[in-house]
Chain A
Amino acid sequence: MTRIGVLGANGQVGAAVCLLLRAHADVEVVPISRNRTGSAFLRSRGVRCRHGRVTDPGEAPGLLADCDVILNFARPAAGRPGDMRAANEALVSNMARYPAPGARLVYFSSLSAYREFRPLTEPASVTAYGWEKRSVERIVRREAARQGKEAWILRLGHVAGELQGISAEIRRLLRLGPVVIPWAGACPSNVVYTATIVDAVLAIAAGREPAGTYDLICSPAWTWRAVLEHEAAASGAVLRTEEPIPAIPRAGGAGRGTGAWFARARALASTLLAARRTREIGLIVLNFLSADANLGAQSAHFKRRARADIDRISQRRPSAEAFLYAPAGSRYLGSLRSTAALLSDPAFRLSGADAEGPFVPDLLSAS
């Protein structure tokens, strides 16, 4: 029996992973929550939990010492970057120190660690969230090495599946339909289903994957169309799609290279020309130009205004920004089953997640 401690078990992904792991007989899942408000959902679904602060060295041993694998989905809720960094340091340090020797450490990072994990219409850039994730990854590697433990870093894409907001939102879009998505959804997505996350955890727990940093998306990668088709089938909806207006160019141009610089220069020029002062100066200059020039300028102005008004009312934006994200990452775990097969396997589907029952007693601490 492998005992898997789960930090951040009360989060969206952590809760789903706990419920899915529960279905596997060779696994004992140990969700860990700071307080009972956070663990209420899991406990109402019959999952016993431990409560305490992993950041506290006095409490961490009781929470972690008997766990064979530690999954870290936690993101400190302090809100202020400096406080979150300190909390992450303490969390990861104790996560590495207090489990028994040989325990495996798994940190769930994000594809946001890549600068390129942005909408295609925006330039690649560092984000505070991405920087935070890379920073915690470095702490995980450092602390794991310090404690002589192996660490796996899994960079998650957009997480879908039961209990996930992304799936709920996609199903809402399908219900309201049609879904506005560029290129008929043919672009590879960065989606990872919770079933694949659980498969990855089981593979690591079983020793089938060497320690290291990996990108975790569906196996093999699903297009957005495949995601929509799956969600439609699962929810009994009919899939209808439309292209955005204006059309969005395919990957490779927007935001990068000389084309991008030219586009930015043109946008800046347009802003300057549209500025109030420029307009006032232009109106004064027209006093000295011919009647034809005046009529031409006025007609151009009316035409620009008409086009802008028509664009505003006829544009169709993509239903979700995530549809525009370029594929990110390239290093994948080697032993995972296909996501499609997992989603058909009852062992990777939630059961009883809807039924709220009496709250179960707490799990005893390790010490």
Chain B
Amino acid sequence: MPPFGSTTARRVSPGRPVLARLSPDSSRRGYHVSVRSSLISRSPAEIRVGVIGTGHIARQVHLPVLTSMPGVRVEWVADANAASAASVARAFKLRAISLPLSSGAESDCDVALVASPVGTRGPYLQHLASRGIAAFVEKPFARTVDEHRAFASLFPASRIGCGFMRRAYDSSKTLRRILTGGWLGEPTRIVVREGGRTRGSGTDRSYFDDEGSSGGILLELGCHALDLAMHLTGTTHHRIIRQRFLFDGPPDRVAEGEVLLFRNASEDSASLPLEFRFSWLDEMDSAMEFHFPTARLLVGDRPESVVRLTGPAAGGDRIDLPDSEVSLLPGGLGATTTNQAFYLEWRDFLDGLAAARASTFSAESALPVTALVEDLYRLGRGA
């Protein structure tokens, strides 16, 4: 047989079968392995995906990922701005359809991504549910618990998901392994800081100014970190200790506070304090810290961030010394890029769909963070 590393194989797309045959000039040296791109067996039926909302996140991440995923075919795109939908459809060589979605077969597919602003989703979800189409919704899932339950109840648990993609990060999976394994003992505190001074106003951010808009930094950004903290610790319930907002009209530009996290409704599990600050008015060293009796785990908010291990907090202040921490390099547990994170969340959701089981990214699993954000806003606005 030829040495293992000396075949003439070409790179094969994932999922493509490899054809190995006796070459015409074969001899006692063995098989000449050649790889062909043509299939020798029919591939499984593709999942057809529709996309509602062709804004930044759909254009720059979801569509590139979906159109690159084996076994997935993007069937159509739609947007309240028909010109935007048409432009994106041309760029990705897809079909654009108009909104509102018609009751005909034009909008039929297996799954629809709902990436429109959170306040606009109700009619889309109702339509999708009526047509038996599963839905994968961009975060945040909903603004209130009532809205969350109303949306989620339209679908079986396996057919409605929410895209908190940080759960798919390699660093998140590393943290989860350490926490569930109890390798550093029980955490004593979580501290989260995230944000940054607003700079470019950006053409896609103008909807934040709309009166009917969802909210500000807590709903648009902070929910990511809060969801991750709750997901990693298995939190189901919370109690708010303090909160402070800086509102700029409707939207909040700063949200900070402290909550206690619990693993059940009766609050008889040990509580875990979570201290947070989200701000669009200050430069922030965005990070999440898990405090333990003798150590801390630190991680940034980017997919490529590594988990760092350092000593216990000294007087509550972080000390940035060059030799004060060690890095736990990515271990192949999850995503280290944004595209990988979105791919993994889609993969997990679609696998759950096929197996008729709720995925890691189920809408139900996002309910705790919806409840927390709603409660914080309720107190912050004095409602």
Listed in ascending order, the chain A residues whose CB lies under 8 Å from chain B are: 10-12, 15, 33-41, 43-44, 75-78, 163, 168, 172, 175-177, 356, 359
Q: Judging by beta carbons under 8 Å apart, are B320 and A36 in contact?
A: no
CA distance A76 to B201 in the complex (A): 9
- Per the bound structure, the CA–CA distance linking A44 and B63 in Å amounts to 37
Least distance between A275 CB and chain B CB atoms (Å): 15
Contacts of B199 in A (CB 8 A): 10-12, 15, 38
Task: Report whether A356 and B200 are in contact in the complex, using a CB–CB cutoff of 8 Å.
Answer: no
A37 with B251, Cβ < 8 A, contacts A44-B281, A77-B202, A356-B246 known: yes
How many whole Å from B95's CB to the nearest CB in chain A? 22
Q: Could you list 27 examples of A-B contacts with CB < 8 Å?
A: A10-B199, A10-B201, A11-B200, A12-B197, A15-B199, A33-B201, A34-B201, A35-B201, A35-B205, A36-B248, A37-B201, A37-B205, A37-B209, A37-B280, A38-B199, A40-B280, A41-B198, A41-B280, A41-B281, A44-B246, A44-B248, A75-B200, A77-B202, A78-B203, A163-B197, A168-B283, A356-B246
Interface residue B249 (Cβ < 8 Å from any Cβ of A)? yes
- Given known pairs A11-B200, A175-B320, the reply for A40 and B206 (CB within 8 Å) is no
Residues of chain A within 8 A (CB-CB) of B197 are 12, 15, 41, 163
Complex contact B209–A36 (CB within 8 A): yes
B200 & A77 in contact (Cβ 8 Å cutoff): yes
Q: Which residues of A contact B248 (CB under 8 A)?
A: 36, 40, 43-44, 359
B202 touches A38 (CB 8 A): yes
CB nearest to B254 among chain A residues? A356
Question: What secondary structure prevails in chain B residues at the interface with A?
Answer: loop
**In the complex the two chains form, is B281's CB within 8 Å of A356's CB?**
yes
Q: Which of B206, B251, B282 contacts A34 (CB 8 A)?
A: B206
Q: Is the CB of A35 within 8 A of B209?
A: yes
- Report the bound CA distance from A25 to B200 in whole Å: 28
Q: A356-B246, A359-B248 are in contact. Are A39 and B281 (CB under 8 A)?
A: no
Cα distance A12–B200 in the bound complex, in angstroms = 8
Chain A, Cβ-Cβ closest to B210: A35
Q: Which residues of B contact A40 (CB under 8 A)?
A: 198, 248, 253, 280-281
**A15, A34, A35, A77 — most chain B CB neighbours (10 Å):** A35
Question: Is B208 on the interface with A (CB-CB < 8 A)?
Answer: yes
Interface centre among A33, A36, A172 (most CB of B within 10 A): A36
Q: What residue of chain B has the Cβ atom nearest to residue A165's Cβ?
A: B283
B53 CB to closest chain A CB (Å) equals: 18
Contacts of A43 in B (CB 8 A): 248
How far, in whole Å, are A163 and B251 apart by their CA atoms in the complex? 24
Interface flag for B322 (CB, 8 Å): yes
A176 to B322, CA, bound (A): 6
CB proximity of A30 to chain B, nearest CB, Å: 16
Does A36 lie within 8 Å of B282, measured CB to CB?
no
By a CB distance below 8 angstroms, the chain B residues around A44 are 246, 248, 253, 281
Interchain CA distance A282-B155 in the complex, whole Å: 64
Q: Kindly report which residue of chain B lies nearest to residue A83, judged by CB atoms.
A: B203
Residue with the highest number of chain B CB atoms closer than 10 Å, among A37, A77, A78, A356: A37
